[in-house]
Amino acid sequence: MNKQELLAGLQPDIELINESMAADFSSIGSSRLAEVVDYAVFNGGKRLRPLLTVLMGRLVAFTRMPEGIADEEDLRPPPDLYRLAMVFEFLHAASLLHDDVIDHADTRRGKKTANEVWGASTAILAGDYLHTRAMTLAGLVGGQETLGLIGQATGAMIDAEFLQAQTVADVNLSEENYFAVLRGKTGALISSACEVGALFAGADRDQRAAIRTFGDALGLAFQVVDDLLDYLGDSASTGKAIGNDFCEGKMTLPLIHAIKNSPPPQKQLLTDLLTSGGPADRQARIADVTAIIAEAGGFYYAKQGAETLVSAALEALADFKECESKDILHGLAHYVLSRDK
């Protein structure tokens, strides 16, 4: 499945997710609040999380059908699956709204951020609204188990933000602790997006475990690729400055690998920049740093790590029936590896 086929396959679900979100905003009283959340949610995002919910719901529903009863395309998912899916887009948008306030970011995906357009207070409150709405829908549409999964994932995300702050410039950070932070920061929400879709469609215990494995691995791969793009991406595509993570002292996989595997002088330079240099010193040496990481095989190592994770994710789906949703999930997983923004 090439990228064009993938996008065409996803389009109908994306439209239903979007319709569901727009309908939900119609209950908002303040026209300004409605305008801000609309702006935040309809911002050119890829809808990865809600798509995972819908696709997992479809995959499980089809796998659970007796053989020969129906084609997959006859199984139209109920509107509630899309309402549950949108919960993940709301949570994602809420966290981006608050992140942009925290980072004083003025653009995102080439558009002004909400805090830039309306100010930080409005962006904070709009994030709070999406957050509240998401948690409420999680429980009302999905039930208590769904709410528990999502509550745990959202709590873990915030907890991980604090843990990550504690690891800044920690040149001895282990890969294990790096992945622990990743698991909370991105993995938890992606994994619960998958599991909630499976739960909705009545997955049994083994199916849920398999889908959790898929989600965990895909979430980690997604973030490892993000960390790679931070060094190697094209600023024009990613919309972010190259080497931003290093400047902020963020310890990501390529860097951790390089510190462990570089010859003493290079290792010393990285360590000095991280422990005694400031963001400006790091920025000034970013080309050297990137070369050192490349020389130590840090990027190759991280890329391989992401590939291994994606393979593990896809393997977890082996026992589900072959169908269009499964093909698309394969396509999405490969897209996560090859994306350039």
What does the alpha-carbon distance between residue 87 and residue 89 come to, in Å, rounded to a whole number?
6
Q: Which stretch binds its own copies (CB under 8 A): 108-116, 150-158, 191-199, 330-338?
A: 150-158
Distances (CA, A) of 122 to 33, 36, 78, 125, 129: 8, 8, 34, 5, 10
- Taking the complex as a whole, the smallest distance from the CB of residue 179 to its own copies amounts, in Å, to 14
- Taking the complex as a whole, the smallest distance from the CB of residue 122 to its own copies amounts, in Å, to 8
Q: Which of 226, 275, 274, 283 is nearest to 254 (CA)?
A: 226
- Taking the complex as a whole, the smallest distance from the CB of residue 188 to its own copies amounts, in Å, to 12
Cα atoms in the 13 Å half-sphere on the side-chain side of 233 = 23
- Taking the complex as a whole, the smallest distance from the CB of residue 98 to its own copies amounts, in Å, to 5
Of the chain, the end-to-end C-alpha distance in Å amounts to 20
- Taking the complex as a whole, the smallest distance from the CB of residue 153 to its own copies amounts, in Å, to 9
Q: Does 138 bind its own copies (CB under 8 A)?
A: yes
Q: Which stretch binds its own copies (CB under 8 A): 135-143, 241-249, 286-294, 331-339?
A: 135-143
Q: Does 8 bind its own copies (CB under 8 A)?
A: no
Own/partner pairs, 71-75, CB within 8 angstroms, 24+ separation: 72/323, 72/324, 72/325, 73/324
The two tokens of residue 74 are 């006859």
**3-class DSSP state of 225:** helix
**3-class DSSP state of 97:** helix
Q: Which of 336, 231, 203, 209 is nearest to 293 (CA)?
A: 231
Q: Does 98 bind its own copies (CB under 8 A)?
A: yes
Q: Which stretch binds its own copies (CB under 8 A): 61-69, 91-99, 284-292, 298-306?
A: 91-99
Per-residue mark of binding to its own copies, 101-120 (x: CB under 8 A): xx-----------------x
Count of residues of this chain found to bind its own copies when the rule CB under 8 A is applied: 43
- Taking the complex as a whole, the smallest distance from the CB of residue 321 to its own copies amounts, in Å, to 32
Q: Which stretch binds its own copies (CB under 8 A): 43-51, 97-105, 211-219, 266-274?
A: 97-105
CB-based contact 319:283 (threshold 8 Å): no
Q: Does 158 bind its own copies (CB under 8 A)?
A: yes
Site for its own copies, residues 11 to 50, rule: CB under 8 A: 28-30, 32-33
Give every CB contact of residue 14 below 8 A, 6+ residues apart in sequence: 47, 51
Nearer to its own copies, 143 or 263 (CB): 143
The two tokens of residue 102 are 């925290």
Number of helical H runs and strand E runs in the chain: 18, 2
Among 11, 107, 152, 275, binds its own copies (CB under 8 A): 152
**3-class DSSP state of 115:** helix
Q: Does 279 bind its own copies (CB under 8 A)?
A: no
Residues at the site binding its own copies, with contacts judged by CB under 8 A: 28-30, 32-33, 94-95, 98, 101-102, 120-122, 124-125, 127-129, 131-133, 135-136, 138-140, 143-144, 147-148, 150-152, 154-155, 158-159, 161-163, 165-166, 184
